[in-house]
Amino acid sequence: MPRRMSPRRLAARLTSRRSIVVLLAVCVALVPMSAVAAEILSGEEVVIASPVADDVYVFGAEVTIDADVDGDVIVTAADVRINGNVSGSVYAAAFNLHVRGNVGGVVMATASDVTITGDVGGTARIVSSTLEIDGARIGGDLVAVATEVNVRADAHIAGDVIVRSTSVELLADVDGVVRGSADSLEIGGVVGGKIDVRVGTLRFVDGAVVMQPVEYTSDREVLVDGGTTITGTLTRVEPDHPTAGERFAESALWAVFRYMWALALGAFLLRVAPRLVVRSANIVRSRPFPALGWGFLGMLGVPLVVGFLFVTVIGIPVAMVLLACFILALYASQIVIGMIVGTAVAPRNWRGSDQLRHAVGTLAFGLAIVVAVRSLPIDGWSLLTGLSIAMIVLGSLLMQLFRRDASGTAASGPGAIG
C-alpha cells in the first residue's frame, strides 16, 4: 500500500521551480494583477514576520502570516494561518484556513475547514466542508457552499447571506436578506431583510428578531423557540413533488437526450477509432469475467493514481488528462454494449459490414435498447446498470492496454463484430 506523502516531501515538490511557475500562472489567471512586482515566497514552512508593502504569493505546506501585508495575499498550502492585517484581499486554496487578522478587501477561499475571526471589509465567498465565523464583521455579503456553516452570535454580516449547505447555524445579526437552501437552518440574530429559503427544517431560536417577511419552502412548519420576535409574515410554500406521470415524462426526456448524445459520440468513435470499439466489444462478448475483474481494478486504481498525481503541481496536467480519459471511457462504455446488443437485433446484412452507415445503424438499434433498459423506473437501477456496464467495458480497454488479447485481433472495420 503506498505511503502518504510527508509534509516535507509535499513541500519539496510544491516549491520546485517548475511548480512555482505553474502556480503563478494559475494565480495570474484567477486574480487581477495590482502591481508588476510582488513578494514570492515558498518552502515547507513559510513564516512572514516582517511587514510587506506589496502583494504576496505564498506556496508551501504550512504558511503563517504574522505581519501586516499592504496588498493582496494569494496563498496555496495545506495549512494557512493569517494573523496579520491584510489591506487588500485574500485568495486562498488550502486544506485548513484560519483568518485571524483583518482583511480590507474580499476573502475568496476553497478549503476543507475555514475559520474567520478577523473582520473582512468586503464579501466572503467560501467553498468548504466546514465554515465558522466567530467574532468577525463581514462588510459585504457572505456566500457559502459548505456542508456545515456556523456563524456565531458575536459576528455581524453587513450584507446578504446566500448559503447552500446541509446544516446552517446563523446566530449573528444580518443587515441584508437571507437566501439559499439547507436541510437544517437555525436563525438566532437580528435579520434586517427578507428571508427566502428552501429548507428541511427552519427554526428561530432565542434572540432571533425578524421584522421582514419570511417565505420558506418546506414540508414542515417553522419552529419558533421562546425569546424570539417575529413580526414579519410567515409564509410556508409546499415544495413541488412531481407526480408519477411527471417523473415518467422527465425520465423519458432525459433518456432521449442521453440516447442522442451517446449516438453522436458513438458515430464519432466509429469514425475515428473503429477498431478500439470493435475490439472492446469482442473482448466483452468472449471474455466477460476477466474484463469485469480488470474493470474492478481500474475503478479502484485509476482514481488512486489521479489522486497521487494531483499531489504535485507538475503532475496536475497529467492527472487532468488521465481523469478526462477515465470519464470519457466510463461514458462511452454504453456505446460498446450498444454495439453488442445491436449486432443481435440489427438486419443481417449490416453485421460484419465495413461500411460506417451500417455500423452506426447497428449502434442505433443497440443503444435504444440499452438506454430503455437503463431508464426503468426502479430505485438504484440506473446506477447499478451504469456501473456494471462501465466496469466491464473499462476492463476490456485495460486488457487491450496492458496485454494483447486474441479476441480483439480479428477486428478489421466498424462493423466487424462477429
In a 13 Å sphere around the CA of 41, the CA atoms on its Cβ side amount to 22
Instruction: Report the pLDDT value the prediction gives residue 306, as an integer from 0 to 100.
Output: 74
User: Are 21 and 104 part of one and the same domain?
Assistant: yes
Instruction: Report the pLDDT value the prediction gives residue 308, as an integer from 0 to 100.
Output: 65
The DSSP letter of residue 28 is: H
- CB neighbour class for 364 (10 Å; exposed up to 12, middle 13-18, buried from 19): middle
Instruction: Report the pLDDT value the prediction gives residue 29, as an integer from 0 to 100.
Output: 40
Which range of residues forms the domain containing residue 360?
244-408
Instruction: Report the pLDDT value the prediction gives residue 297, as an integer from 0 to 100.
Output: 83
Q: Provide long-range contacts, Cβ within 8 A and 24+ apart, for 221-228.
A: 228/204
User: Are 109 and 209 part of one and the same domain?
Assistant: yes
Domain-embedded: residue 417: no
Whether pTM > 0.75 for this model: the answer is no
User: Are 255 and 221 part of one and the same domain?
Assistant: no
| Final residue belonging to a domain, choices 178, 204, 237 | 237
User: Are 280 and 190 part of one and the same domain?
Assistant: no
The number of folded domains in the chain is 2
Domain-embedded: residue 413: no
User: Are 162 and 109 part of one and the same domain?
Assistant: yes
pLDDT in tens, the chain (418 residues): 444 444 444 444 444 444 444 444 444 444 433 333 467 887 778 999 999 999 998 887 889 999 999 999 998 888 999 999 999 999 988 889 999 999 999 999 988 899 999 999 999 999 999 999 999 999 999 999 999 999 999 999 999 999 999 999 999 999 999 999 999 999 999 999 999 999 999 999 999 999 999 999 999 999 999 889 999 899 999 888 777 777 777 778 888 888 898 889 888 888 888 888 888 888 998 888 888 888 888 887 787 777 667 655 566 778 788 888 888 888 888 889 988 888 888 787 776 667 788 888 888 988 999 888 888 777 778 788 888 888 888 888 888 877 655 444 444 455 555 5
User: Are 331 and 361 part of one and the same domain?
Assistant: yes
User: Are 86 and 228 part of one and the same domain?
Assistant: yes
Give, rounded to a whole angstrom, the gap between the first and last alpha carbons of the chain: 41
Domain-embedded: residue 362: yes
Domain-embedded: residue 1: no
- CB neighbour class for 275 (10 Å; exposed up to 12, middle 13-18, buried from 19): middle
Domain-embedded: residue 418: no
User: Are 63 and 150 part of one and the same domain?
Assistant: yes
C-alpha cell recorded at residue 113? 475547514
CA separation, residue 295 to residues 210, 290, 299, 355, 384 (Å): 56, 8, 6, 30, 15
Q: How far is CA 39 from the centre of its chain?
A: 31
Instruction: Report the pLDDT value the prediction gives residue 386, as an integer from 0 to 100.
Output: 85
Nearest to 96 by CA among 78, 118, 75: 78
Instruction: Report the pLDDT value the prediction gives residue 183, as an integer from 0 to 100.
Output: 94
User: Are 50 and 178 part of one and the same domain?
Assistant: yes
Domain-embedded: residue 115: yes
User: Are 249 and 221 part of one and the same domain?
Assistant: no
CA dist 202 and 162 (Å) reads 15
CB 141 within 8 A of CB 160: yes
CA separation, residue 78 to residues 2, 25, 309 (Å): 20, 19, 16
CA dist 344 and 43 (Å) reads 61
Q: Which residue has the cell 417565505?
A: 215
Beta-bridge mates of residue 137: 156
CB 232 within 8 A of CB 211: yes
Domain-embedded: residue 415: no
| Final residue belonging to a domain, choices 237, 254, 270 | 237
CB 174 within 8 A of CB 191: yes
Domain-embedded: residue 206: yes
Instruction: Report the pLDDT value the prediction gives residue 401, as an integer from 0 to 100.
Output: 79
User: Are 41 and 131 part of one and the same domain?
Assistant: yes
| Final residue belonging to a domain, choices 213, 237, 261 | 237
User: Are 312 and 359 part of one and the same domain?
Assistant: yes
Which amino acid is located at 284 in the chain?
A: V
